[in-house]
A and B are shown apart, each in its own frame.
Chain A
């Protein structure tokens, strides 16, 4: 099942470590700005647009 995981930029190193621990180094993630819990509506929409741009690359074969 093709899947992408989204995280904020401050969590990239944790995700990379988990990828190696789980035996999948180099797994691609979608990275958006931090933090999300106090972001404005406009910022959230911006994060969503960035997500779709990255999703094209990570979720679809070229």
Chain B
């Protein structure tokens, strides 16, 4: 075969998918197959056809057998193809796939403690925060209903991660997933930051990602707790309400310090920004204010574990850097949200840039010279 024949470029063979396939009669039959095998989260899935999976891989410029990650505890290899199958099932379009891949890789970092957080009785979910230009490209909506069903992109990206946990790592309720209660975020727990609606630095930049890059931050998180304070414009008073919610979490759920996320919608955000407070100022304030005495456990029925350390102080944040401030939410309403970590600092939030990949260059075709 002539490699450089005039008028022809190098042929590129499409690598074959490796997954086993099943023939189904119709959409309904596909649902029953996947539900019966324990391959779903209980909701209907988009049947993953070869074409749909290939479309994701093409968009992500990834061959099917590209190793996306190796799950650290059981040393399970995770390929691009298998992640794409689960992304398609969740409802992802090809443009959502790079976000899913990056979030998954971030979850595989040792400091995230994936096996611990997904198997524990504690029942946390994987919170995903999206930053950068990709938000606009995929139509992520950081305003109304930011923590609920805000838009297609965040709904399906969050869901893809749960389906991948179920199918690639066997994280199923009563099996490896020992969650006593869990929470609804386990269906999908993904939001974008409203970068255009604030003068604050995006979360990704605070966490070290270069300006202009898109990024995801993942965190093993409990359900959001909504706070309200529409009766003041003083940032200290507003943030004191957030601090009180953090202290309550420390006493009622888990006292140990770690990453907390606070989501601040526009109404409260404007007061804080107008007073000249940055995200760093917020973090330093909450680092001081969100702390409890061990003796306070006695007020919530936990006197038996106070023991001889009653005077010990436990901060909710081990340092101001532990706080993740996210600007998101609709334009009206004096509400905010506090999202607590699964268990102190046993797990750490991880931020990763999307599309920064050393060995996924697109294949170069040699154009013939005229």
Q: Answer whether residue B119 sits at the interface, using C-beta atoms and an 8 A cutoff.
A: yes
- Min CB distance, A12 to chain B, in Å? 11
Size of A's binding interface in residues, CB under 8 A: 7
- Min CB distance, B301 to chain A, in Å? 13
Given contacts A14-B176, A14-B178, contact A21 B119 (CB under 8 A): no
The chain A residue with its CB closest to the CB of B178 is A14
Assess the B170–A21 pair: CB atoms within 8 A: yes
A21 to B172, CA, bound (A): 13
Assess the B74–A22 pair: CB atoms within 8 A: yes
Q: Answer whether residue B7 sits at the interface, using C-beta atoms and an 8 A cutoff.
A: no
- Min CB distance, B363 to chain A, in Å? 36
Interface of B: prevailing SS = loop
A14 to B178, CA, bound (A): 8
Q: Answer whether residue B174 sits at the interface, using C-beta atoms and an 8 A cutoff.
A: yes
Assess the A17–B170 pair: CB atoms within 8 A: yes
A44 to B170, CA, bound (A): 32
Given contacts A21-B74, A22-B74, contact A14 B170 (CB under 8 A): no
A14 to B176, CA, bound (A): 5
Assess the B170–A11 pair: CB atoms within 8 A: no
Assess the B119–A14 pair: CB atoms within 8 A: yes
**B175 — which chain A residues lie within 8 A by C-beta?**
13-14, 17
- Min CB distance, A36 to chain B, in Å? 13
Q: Answer whether residue A52 sits at the interface, using C-beta atoms and an 8 A cutoff.
A: no
**A21 — which chain B residues lie within 8 A by C-beta?**
74, 170, 176
A22 to B174, CA, bound (A): 18
A13 to B119, CA, bound (A): 12
A22 to B170, CA, bound (A): 12
A18 to B119, CA, bound (A): 11
Assess the B178–A11 pair: CB atoms within 8 A: yes
Assess the B174–A13 pair: CB atoms within 8 A: yes
1/0 per position for A8-42, CB-CB distance to B under 8 A?
00010110011001100000000000000000000
A31 to B5, CA, bound (A): 71
Residue among A13, A21, A22 having the largest count of chain B Cβ atoms under 10 Å: A21
1/0 per position for B152-191, CB-CB distance to A under 8 A?
0000000000000000001000111010000000000000
**B74 — which chain A residues lie within 8 A by C-beta?**
18, 21-22
Assess the A18–B176 pair: CB atoms within 8 A: yes
**A18 — which chain B residues lie within 8 A by C-beta?**
74, 176
A14 to B118, CA, bound (A): 12
- Min CB distance, B328 to chain A, in Å? 36
The chain A residue with its CB closest to the CB of B119 is A14
1/0 per position for B227-253, CB-CB distance to A under 8 A?
000000000000000000000000000
A62 to B170, CA, bound (A): 36
**B174 — which chain A residues lie within 8 A by C-beta?**
13
**A14 — which chain B residues lie within 8 A by C-beta?**
119, 175-176, 178
Residue among B119, B174, B175 having the largest count of chain A Cβ atoms under 10 Å: B175
1/0 per position for B55-78, CB-CB distance to A under 8 A?
000000000000000000010000
Query: 4 more A-B contacts (CB under 8 A) besides A13-B174, A21-B74, A21-B170?
Result: A11-B178, A13-B175, A14-B178, A18-B74
Name 16 interchain pairs, CB-CB below 8 A, sorted by A.
A11-B178, A13-B174, A13-B175, A14-B119, A14-B175, A14-B176, A14-B178, A17-B170, A17-B175, A17-B176, A18-B74, A18-B176, A21-B74, A21-B170, A21-B176, A22-B74
Q: Which 6 A-B pairs have the closest CB atoms?
A: A17-B175, A21-B74, A17-B176, A14-B178, A14-B176, A21-B170
User: What residues of chain A have their CB less than 8 Å away from a CB belonging to chain B?
Assistant: 11, 13-14, 17-18, 21-22
